Every structure is written in C-alpha cells, then in structure tokens.
Amino acid sequence: MNNKRVSGALLLAALFATAPPVQAQQDASQATPPSGKTLVFVFRSDRQPVAAQVPVVVNLVRIGDLANGTFAVATVNPGRTFLRIGEQAVAVFTLEAVANRSYFVRIEAVSSVRPVRTEVRLVSETDGRRSLAQSRLVGAAPAVGAAPRLQPPAPIAAAPPPVAAAPRAQPSPPRPAPSAEAGADWNFALIAKGGAFKLANADQTVAGLASTFDTTSKPALGIEMEWRHRAGFAVGGEVFYYKNDLVATGVIAKQQVVALMANAKYYLRVADWFHPFVGVGVGYADALYSGDLKGTAGGAAFQGMAGMEFRFDQVGVLLQYKHLAATTGQSGSDVKIGGSGVLAGVSIAF
C-alpha cells in the first residue's frame, strides 16, 4: 500500500510540476525590433583602419563612439530618423524608418584625412548581419524578455472530427526599403599652378598686319577655386593668364590673355592619396595688346583638361594637361589666342 501511495505522488508531481523560467539567449547582432518600433544598427568597417573613434548620435541621443570593427544599436519610433556622425567633419544621414523593421548603416573612416571624415551608406540586411557578426557591440544591447513559464499539461480530450484546413494566406510581397540619402559633403579647395603653355597658331593677322607670334607663353599662370564632393564631382572657377610676344613689319608688341572660366571636373579615387581627373570649362578670354599695338579684344573660350592629383591630408600636388580654344575679333579679322600646355600646381583643401 505504501508503495502505491509513493508511486501516485511521483506521477502527480511529474504531471503538474512547473519548469523554472527560461531566459532567451539572443546575440545583439541578431536582435529584432520590439513590436511597433524600429532598430537602427550602425557599424564601422574601414577599408584602411583609422585609429580615431567616431561618435554616433541618433535623434539627438549619443549611442556610442565607434572604432573600426564595432557597432551600436538604437531603438527608435517609426518616422524620420536623423543620424549625426563625427565631431569636426560631421556627416548627416537621414532615413524614413518603418515599424517592425531593422536598418543597417555602414560607416567608413577615410584614412589620411584630418579631421577624420566618414563615408556613410545604408546596406542590405544580409550584408549588415554579416558585418555585425564580425563586430563588437558598443554599449548595451537591446533587452530581451524572459520566456514564459511552462504550464502543466491539459487533460487529454477526445479528438474532434477532422476539419478541412483553411487555405494558407500568401505572404505579401516585401516592401522596398526606403531611400536614404546622406547630407551633402562638400569641401572647398584653392589651386595655384603654372607651367609651359604654347599658342596653337603662330602666323596670324592682327589689326590688319601680318604678324608672327612667339608661341611659347612667358609666363603661364592660373588660380582655381573649386567645391569638391566626396563622390568625386567638383565645380568651380578659374583665372588663367599667359603672355606672348608678336612681331610684324615695323611692329613689336605683346599679347596678354586673361581667361575667366567656369569648370566642372570628376576626380577618380584610385587611392586615398591618388586622384586622376578629367574636366571641361567654358568662359571668356580677353586679349590685351601693348607695345606698338594698343587695344583689347575678347571672345568665348572653351577648354578641356586631364591630369592627376596626389593628396596628403589637406595639401595636394597636381599635374595637368590643358587645351584652351579661344578666338577674338569678328569673322575675317579674328585672332586665335588659344593653345595647350602642361601645368603643375599645389592645392589646399579647407
């Protein structure tokens, strides 16, 4: 009898015992947003590691200072979300957050640039999760609640008659990720250059006189001001000056040309320090004559250029080929004052 009582007690204990609470184990890199919220993962991955840390602010809240190979995560409400990255060279990034979704923002610090400048872009969840798995969390990971307690099993009831299964609902097509655009990231550069420039035409008629130019310009100088975008595009203005001697029957004179140009360029970033470029320009060239000839004449000017720039922090050294086409005067008495040459210079970025 005693054995039967013990066996019954053990059976009841097995049926109605409650399991201890189970804590959900979830890595922060695999976290999903709470219901009605959005997760924003910000991770840093440098192609060439930079030692400095980069502060990250999401909606006015600083979520961490990221070194290479680290990440931080923020829980935000749906809607417009603002990210501010960096201190002195600040990048601003915005995205339109959707509830119950996660977004992955990659930061890359550009080496050999002081103060530290960053490139920011939105990546896919697949790429983001892969990078997070190789990164270290900065700050606290999102809290994960404990699993519910196990309930005792319900009494076994008779099986109901089979019911035809309802048709499975087809999942709705995934919504496209909202577009995210980083704020403009321009910087200003000043360029001074000089070199060898030669006129394209030596023998011409100037003021009705058959004239011969010394095609070698002495000097040939230029100053450029341009605004550069981190994507490689640049726009700006240029003043280019060169002077040539000319002689005619009983005449010795000088021709000085000032060309005012508006330029557009594209710099290809081969490396942090090496940037080949091409460009075009349009403007106005004015020729001033002195000596035995007096007067001025002007006309439209066009130019093309190609070269390379070697950048070291804010200072660069460049080598450029320039071809300038410009004509002054009226048809029949026009003078071609254009030419081409190779120039070298120094740039300073601000």
Per-residue pLDDT of the chain (350 residues; tens, 9 = 90+): 444 454 444 434 333 333 333 333 347 778 889 999 999 999 999 988 988 899 999 999 999 999 999 999 999 999 999 999 988 888 899 999 999 999 999 999 987 777 888 999 999 999 999 999 899 998 754 443 333 444 555 555 555 565 555 556 555 555 544 444 444 588 899 999 999 999 999 998 888 888 999 999 999 999 999 999 988 999 999 999 999 999 988 889 999 999 999 999 999 999 989 999 999 999 999 999 999 888 898 999 999 999 999 999 889 999 999 999 999 977 667 899 999 999 999 999 98
Q: Where are the domains of the chain?
A: 29-142, 186-349
> Are the beta carbons of 125 and 98 closer than 8 angstroms?
no
Coil/strand/helix, residue 17? coil
Structure confidence at residue 175 (pLDDT): 53
Q: How many helices (H) and strands (E) does the chain have?
A: 2, 23
Structure confidence at residue 232 (pLDDT): 92
Regarding pTM above 0.85, the answer is no
Residue 115: cis peptide before it, omega within 30 degrees of 0: yes
Residue 178, burial from CB neighbour count under 10 angstroms (0-12, 13-18, 19+): middle
Tokens at residue 264, please? 């557009």
79, containing H or E segment: strand 79-85
Structure confidence at residue 293 (pLDDT): 85
Coil/strand/helix, residue 65? strand
Which CATH number applies to 186-349: 2.40.160.20, 1.10.10.10, 3.10.450.350, 3.30.365.10?
Answer: 2.40.160.20
Mind giving me the DSSP string for 240-296? EEEEEEEEETTEEEEEEEEEEEEEEEEE--SBTTEEEEEEEEEEEEEEEEEES--EE
What is the C-alpha separation between 279 and 301, in angstroms, rounded?
A: 14
CATH of segment(s) 29-142:
2.60.40.10
Phi-psi region of 36 (alpha: psi -120 to 50; beta: other; left: phi over 0): left
Q: What is the bridge-based pairing of β-strands 54-58 and 61-66?
A: antiparallel
Structure confidence at residue 179 (pLDDT): 42
